[in-house]
Structure 1
């Protein structure tokens, strides 16, 4: 009987040890590397920013996230990429579906109430993309009576109509790729969203030399890396972002992903410096 008690106690200790080990192995955000994974949210459908292709994942946000993950102790093959659509980002962080999100994620007061942000790591602006041979659009006011394309659900085109070009003819397409095809075929005169996103699309090989950015800088979009509210990853990611700028990796990522479109990027923003 005494032997049974000892055996039962030993079994209980062993079970607790196994449980603790199992729990520890699932902590993707500890930054300790080893055999663990880190889950990172990105866009899957934004060339130059975050795109899933048959060859893997590419884009500026992918390069930034990969660099950050390495600084946290994770190699590229330990990253589990998760698609983070715009409407799902806060929920994914709150539920713990991902450790952090780098997905053209503008820092806003409304979002800061729900999640924390490291960064910013890029200052983008709302802009327009036009055909390379079109010299008729030199300012936002020139969009009056022009066909202005944006994606269904986006507020970018409406912002221009409300504030800058009240006579613009707004057209809503389902995707940016559809807008680009319309721009190429002269069904529309301009496409509007963040300049970084526009540069990413225009930098695709099939569009090289066909489009140009207006350079209007109509809004400030401070891209940050989202983390769960109260997460200690925020400070670690901020340090990684500072290192990325300091060692030149940030500039290389900008040139690689946006350079072919003639994107005139802002200098790397200072951590915590959010432009209104």
Structure 2
């Protein structure tokens, strides 16, 4: 791995930096922003195309781009980042134990989670939506999902929420993962797949599915993605500043286009720090 190759060099640079600081010659940037460490550990998803995905070429996705930008603003180059998989059910524990410095993993800010960890951001406002076949002209609103076959992913409440609140006659079809739903949607075994629009756009942007799916644009919920840090961490304010910089220099717009563009994702403008949409 690339990270292993640079460990020795990073250690040398770190040692020199300490020496310079002891002599009064350092400017303090690494100490204040990078915490004096030679690497930063970041939690992301490994299995969400367009957001956080581990590939043979490395790590890719919108969350990865955001996290990489933030890390650089904190004083770390890409080869100083250690990526760790942050599964949904493990995120709070990983932060509380100190397994990671921060987490950017489609991590919606909720009051329940804020009792356990702190959040910088939000950096993306997503919505629950549906993914449809590109030639579908029947499903134009959530109510049209009545009698439709809706992919229900094990462990997710998205499809059940639609059935309970919007389309009581929807027929839930169980699948193990979102990835497994896509061939079913393509061949007509199911009529729609529902979860966050950003996640759906990521799947639809994969080369093998380009032009085959479309988003409904229903905006059924608000999902405020934040960057999770340990409760009381001073990283929160530094990350917020980095996110503001990412928006102002247009890097945020580029990351959206690079990762969601093929799906024609109609994203919301970059949210203001601390502006949580209920």
TM-score (norm 1): 0.88
Contact 2:33-2:238 at 8 Å conserved across structures: no
Residue 14 of structure 2 corresponds to none
Contact 1:35-1:78 at 8 Å conserved across structures: no
**Larger C-alpha radius of gyration, 1 or 2?**
1
Residue 58 of structure 2 corresponds to 56
| 1:32 aligned onto 2:31 | no
Structure 2 segments unaligned to the other structure (5+ residues): 1-17, 19-29
Residue 88 of structure 2 corresponds to 86
Q: How does 1:142-157 map to 2 (within 5 A)?
A: 142-157=144-159
Rate the CA distance shift 1:233–1:176 in 2: closer, same or farther, 3 A. same
**Aligned match for 1:100, one of 102, 106, 109:** 102
Structure 1 segments unaligned to the other structure (5+ residues): 1-20, 22-27
1:32: how far off?
2.9
Q: How does 1:162-241 map to 2 (within 5 A)?
A: 162-241=164-243
- 1:77-110: CA deviation from partner (whole Å, max 9, x where unpaired): 0000000000000000000000000000000000
Query: Aligned partners of 1:150 and 1:56: how far apart in 2?
Result: 30
| 1:139 aligned onto 2:126 | no
Instruction: Give the root-mean-square deviation of aligned CA atoms.
Output: 1.5
Three-state SS of the structure 1 residue aligned to 2:33 is: coil
1:150: how far off?
2.8
Query: Aligned partners of 2:80 and 2:147: how far apart in 1?
Result: 51
Runs of 4+ aligned residues of structure 1 deviating over 3 Å after TM superposition are 28-31
Three-state SS of the structure 1 residue aligned to 2:225 is: strand
Query: Aligned partners of 2:40 and 2:86: how far apart in 1?
Result: 15
Three-state SS of the structure 2 residue aligned to 1:179 is: helix
TM-score (norm 2): 0.88
Residue 246 of structure 2 corresponds to 244
Rate the CA distance shift 1:186–1:224 in 2: closer, same or farther, 3 A. same
